[in-house]
Amino acid sequence: MSARHYVHGYTQRENIRLMDQSQTLAGLLHHGTKYRAGNKVLEVGCGVGAQTRILAKNSPRAHFVSMDVSESSVRKARRLVRRENIHNVHFQIADIFRLPFPDETFDHLFVCFVLEHLAEPVQALRALNRVLKKGGTLTVIEGDHGSCYFYPETGEARKAWQSLIVAQARLGGNSLIGRRLFPLLTQAGFRKVQVSPKFVYVDSSRPALVDGFIKRTIIAMVKGVKKRALAMELMDKKSWSKGVRDLYRTAQANGTFCYAFFKGFAIK
Ligand SMILES: C[S@@+](CC[C@H](N)C(=O)[O-])C[C@H]1O[C@@H](n2cnc3c(N)ncnc32)[C@H](O)[C@@H]1O
**6-53 pLDDT tens trace:** 788 888 888 888 888 899 999 999 999 999 999 999 999 999 999 999
**Beta strand pairing status for 149-151 and 256-267?**
antiparallel
Looking at residue 1, its pLDDT comes to 67
pLDDT at 211 over 70: yes
* Nearest one of 261, 100, 64, 69 to 177, comparing CA atoms: 261
pLDDT at 229 over 80: yes
Across residues 230-247, what is the average pLDDT? Answer: 97
**Beta strand pairing status for 191-203 and 256-267?**
antiparallel
* Nearest one of 243, 268, 247, 267 to 259, comparing CA atoms: 247
Q: What is the DSSP letter of 217?
A: I
Ligand 1 centroid to Cα of residue 76, in Å, is 13
Q: What is the DSSP letter of 94?
A: -
Helices (H), ranges, the chain = 12-30, 50-58, 71-83, 121-131, 155-170, 181-187, 207-209, 220-224, 226-231, 237-249
Q: List, in order, residues 6 or more apart from 265 with CB less than 8 Å away.
A: 137, 138, 139, 140, 193, 194, 195
- Helix axes 71-83 and 50-58, enclosed angle (nearest 10): 40
Share the mean pLDDT of the chain: 96
Ligand 1 centroid to Cα of residue 155, in Å, is 31
Percent of the chain with pLDDT over 70: 99
Looking at residue 23, its pLDDT comes to 92
Name the pLDDT band for 5 (thresholds 50, 70, 90): confident
Looking at residue 186, its pLDDT comes to 98
pLDDT at 233 over 70: yes
- Helix axes 155-170 and 237-249, enclosed angle (nearest 10): 110
Name the pLDDT band for 257 (thresholds 50, 70, 90): very high
Which CATH class name applies to 3-267? Answer: alpha beta
Look at ligand 1, atom 20, and give the residue with the nearest C-alpha.
95
CA distance 53 to 88: 10
Looking at residue 14, its pLDDT comes to 86
CA distance 77 to 44: 13
Looking at residue 7, its pLDDT comes to 81
Ligand 1 centroid to Cα of residue 48, in Å, is 9
**Range of weakest confidence among 11-20, 63-72, 227-236:** 11-20
Which ligand 1 atom minimizes the distance to the CA of 21?
Answer: 9
Name the pLDDT band for 262 (thresholds 50, 70, 90): very high
Looking at residue 227, its pLDDT comes to 94
Q: What is the DSSP letter of 69?
A: S
Question: In 3-state terms, what secondary structure has residue 178?
Answer: helix
**Beta strand pairing status for 63-68 and 106-112?**
unpaired
**102-122 pLDDT tens trace:** 999 999 999 999 999 999 999
Looking at residue 251, its pLDDT comes to 98
Percent of the chain with pLDDT over 90: 92
80 vs 27, 108, 258, CA distance in Å? 20, 23, 31
Across residues 112-138, what is the average pLDDT? Answer: 97
CA distance 59 to 53: 10
Best mutation site among 25, 66, 114, 116 for ligand 1, i.e. most ligand atoms within 8 A of its Cβ? 114
Across residues 213-226, what is the average pLDDT? Answer: 96
Ligand 1 centroid to Cα of residue 45, in Å, is 4
